[in-house]
Chains A and B, each alone.
Chain A
Amino acid sequence: MAVMNIREAILRTLHEEMERDPDILVLGEDIVGGNGTAGGPEAIGGIWGTTTGLWEKFGPNRVIDTPISESAIVGAAAGAALAGKRPVAELMFADFVGVSLDQLWNQMAKFRYMFGGKTKCPAVVRMVYGAGMQTAAQHSQSVYALLTAMPGLKVVLPTTPADAKGLLTEALRGDDPVMFFEHKALYGVKGEVPDGEYRIPFGQARMVREGGDVTVVACGRMVNFAEKAADKLAAEGIGMDLIDLRTTSPMDEDAILDSVEQTGRLVVVDESPPRCSLAADIAALVSTRAFTSLKAPPEMVTGPHAPIPFSRVLERAWLPSPQTIEGAVRRTLAFR
């Protein structure tokens, strides 16, 4: 075990996997950073620090600094994957999915099915997401629900450094397109990471806490917020089953249903607007599959049906928080 943060866990995993598998290439804007400047290549070393040193070690054929061309970045990853490689494309911000959406949802996601199951498209698209740093409406969104809704894509959201390593390794060893979400406010989160090969199967949620009174389902940074709420409630003797989904496609439905069957109360925390959201999806799952277990209506803790604002005060008002999660837990427990 070594202690490191999520940023380092991702960087080390990319280094190790690229050493292991010569078919892996990475591409994206400023993943090297400095090409064509007086500072020279690696002047930046990757804008997020998650690709530092790859260019020097693996060379320009496998570490490709691209122009700002998201359709071409994702499309080239799709084509390289069809041609037998294992590309890792980076979108500097998950919000830029909009620019490249066709190459994800009409192309990459559908190749295998459209072509009769004979093809594989082992592409990983890493993207940086999430609010809380005043990056405003076009650099803060959590678009995982959009991509979770697309058959053919897998969607992964690590919350700890160990999960970042285990899930990224699994993504790089698999044969399907994986949307890998990295929360910009979680990069500095530290934790122990297993040495050597470490893979976490997709579709297996992490039970963060087992408290028995209420089931809280979250992913990404919302898991951390829910833990804060759990600490406060625990002091009053209220126990939370906290489920970190880790992957929303595939999703560990059994973990959610098993817990709700015990607690009878569900709170879903989702860093996105409420309509057609992951929160709505899970509320529907539980309402249809565990209806008789429910003792209270499912509670959805989400942002409002509004873009993410810039102002510190407004952004805080937009985001779910430990306090709003706590409030939802209290409401569901008070329901009679």
Chain B
Amino acid sequence: MLQLGHDALLGAYRRMSTIRAFEERLHDEIKTGEIAGFTHLYAGQEAVAVGICDQLTVEDKIVSTHRGHGHCIAKGCDVKGMMLEIYGRAAGLCKGRGGSMHIADLDVGMLGANGIVGGGAPQAVGAALAAKMDGKGRVGITFSGDGACNQGTTFEAMNLAVVTKAPAIFVFENNHYSEHTGFQYAVGTAQDIASRAEAFGMKAWRANGCDFFDTYETFRELLDYVRAGHGPAAIELDTERFYGHFEGDPQRYRGPGELDRIREKRDCLKAFRTTVTEAGLLTGAELDAVDAEVLALIDEAVAEARAAADPDPATVADDVYAEYY
């Protein structure tokens, strides 16, 4: 915590607050019927995306998941462009062709959210091999959940990264649910994903993903290790998903009072506020001002997205190929 100055702390809070407000607003807007398709909200896990991406440069590449809005915002994707995309508009970050599950912005090192669970892990190793060719200490990062940790692609990617000593980082966000199935049922190495990474031959760290400072500092150590050329590494973050697998999920798998309890005890934004105000690093008024600015930004983003033009149907087959078609 002490290594972060005033502006860095306030910036981190702004990004976490932006993710939270973005997702909570989507939760409400989806009910209006104006946003179609599948949307998977990241609220509750903000400290992971921001605690990690705040330490990356645009040259470091990340590959995200179906629950990718948080990673996009943390890596620097334009919030209004994302909202336009989720509304399917022509001016969206991906011209309305990707939607919530396929947001990407290569200019900021965000290689794409991914609708296939586990689809991104080999791609992050590819990005890491590219970084290794360049020899500038850059890294390739895959975000995976406790669901994706059971996919063969993830196993293959971990082994390939170890074999090639690629500067790949496997971030496992354990929110305890792979879709609607419990982590303790679905992950054979119950209670733990990090040990699985260790079994593949890489060093692994563990941190509290609901604590920005624990996430940040633990990842700092990991990042230094990988940038120094020691090969791949993994980190498992114990975190919480505040909403269902997808919007519309009745969440009948939750225990009595579970959602209230995790919002009360494991809210990373609340914890951040308590820590920084008690330590006298930021004031409540500063944080309130950030929250107000963020809400205004999201209001604008939604208003602009609702009013924006749809794509031209005549463009339906554009951009499939760079050449020849």
Chain A residues at the B interface, C-beta cutoff of 8 Å: 23, 25, 27, 60-62, 64, 66-67, 69, 71-85, 87, 102-103, 106-107, 111-120, 151-152, 154, 174-176, 201-203, 250
A83 touches B130 (CB 8 A): yes
- In whole angstroms, how far apart are the Cα atoms of A25 and B160 in the complex? 16
Neighbouring B residues of A64 by C-beta, 8 Å? 129, 164
A250 touches B325 (CB 8 A): yes
Neighbouring B residues of A27 by C-beta, 8 Å? 129
Neighbouring A residues of B163 by C-beta, 8 Å? 66-67
Going nearest first, the 7 A-B pairs with the smallest beta carbon separation are A75-B122, A79-B126, A117-B319, A79-B123, A116-B94, A76-B126, A72-B156
- Extra pairs beyond A62-B133, A114-B97 (16, CB < 8 Å): A23-B133, A25-B130, A27-B129, A60-B164, A67-B160, A72-B153, A72-B159, A73-B160, A79-B122, A112-B319, A113-B320, A118-B94, A118-B104, A118-B105, A119-B106, A120-B322
B131 touches A83 (CB 8 A): yes
Contact of B130 among A79, A112, A117 (CB under 8 A): A79
B61 touches A83 (CB 8 A): yes
B94-148 interface (Cβ within 8 A of A): 94-98, 102, 104-106, 111-112, 114-116, 119, 121-133, 140
Contact of B323 among A25, A102, A103, A176 (CB under 8 A): A176
Contact of B140 among A67, A71, A77, A83 (CB under 8 A): A83
Question: Is B11 in the interface zone, CB < 8 Å from A?
Answer: no
Contact of A72 among B102, B122, B324 (CB under 8 A): B122
A114 touches B94 (CB 8 A): yes
B160 touches A79 (CB 8 A): no
Contact of B112 among A60, A72, A114, A154 (CB under 8 A): A114
In the complex formed, the residue of B with least CB distance to A59 is B133
Question: Is B253 in the interface zone, CB < 8 Å from A?
Answer: no
Neighbouring A residues of B115 by C-beta, 8 Å? 106
Contacts A/B (CB < 8 Å), 14 sampled: A61-B132, A61-B133, A64-B164, A66-B164, A67-B156, A69-B160, A75-B122, A75-B125, A79-B129, A83-B127, A85-B130, A106-B116, A113-B97, A114-B97
- In whole angstroms, how far apart are the Cα atoms of A285 and B320 in the complex? 21
User: Given A64-B164, A69-B160, are A87 and B321 neighbors across the interface (CB < 8 Å)?
Assistant: no
A31 CB to closest chain B CB, in angstroms?
A: 13
A114 touches B98 (CB 8 A): yes
B111 touches A85 (CB 8 A): no
- In whole angstroms, how far apart are the Cα atoms of A120 and B111 in the complex? 11
Most buried by B among A113, A151, A202: A113
A81 touches B126 (CB 8 A): yes
User: Given A67-B159, A111-B112, A203-B324, are A80 and B130 neighbors across the interface (CB < 8 Å)?
Assistant: yes
A82 touches B129 (CB 8 A): no
B133 touches A85 (CB 8 A): yes
B320 touches A78 (CB 8 A): no
Contact of A102 among B116, B318, B325 (CB under 8 A): B116
A74 CB to closest chain B CB, in angstroms?
A: 7
B106 touches A82 (CB 8 A): yes
B133 touches A25 (CB 8 A): yes
Neighbouring A residues of B133 by C-beta, 8 Å? 23, 25, 61-62, 85
B119 touches A116 (CB 8 A): no
Question: Is B302 in the interface zone, CB < 8 Å from A?
Answer: no
Question: Is B152 in the interface zone, CB < 8 Å from A?
Answer: yes
- In whole angstroms, how far apart are the Cα atoms of A301 and B92 in the complex? 47
In the complex formed, the residue of B with least CB distance to A87 is B126
Neighbouring B residues of A83 by C-beta, 8 Å? 61, 111, 126-127, 130-131, 140
Neighbouring A residues of B321 by C-beta, 8 Å? 112, 152, 154, 176
B119 touches A103 (CB 8 A): yes
Neighbouring A residues of B319 by C-beta, 8 Å? 112-113, 116-117
Most buried by B among A27, A61, A114, A202: A114
B312 CB to closest chain A CB, in angstroms?
A: 13
B276 CB to closest chain A CB, in angstroms?
A: 35
Neighbouring B residues of A25 by C-beta, 8 Å? 129-130, 133
A80 touches B126 (CB 8 A): yes
- In whole angstroms, how far apart are the Cα atoms of A102 and B133 in the complex? 26
In the complex formed, the residue of A with least CB distance to B131 is A83
Question: Is B298 in the interface zone, CB < 8 Å from A?
Answer: no
In the complex formed, the residue of A with least CB distance to B165 is A60
Question: Is B63 in the interface zone, CB < 8 Å from A?
Answer: yes
Question: Is B193 in the interface zone, CB < 8 Å from A?
Answer: no
Question: Is B93 in the interface zone, CB < 8 Å from A?
Answer: yes
B127 touches A75 (CB 8 A): no
- In whole angstroms, how far apart are the Cα atoms of A113 and B112 in the complex? 12
Neighbouring A residues of B61 by C-beta, 8 Å? 79, 82-83
User: Given A114-B97, A116-B92, are A79 and B116 neighbors across the interface (CB < 8 Å)?
Assistant: no
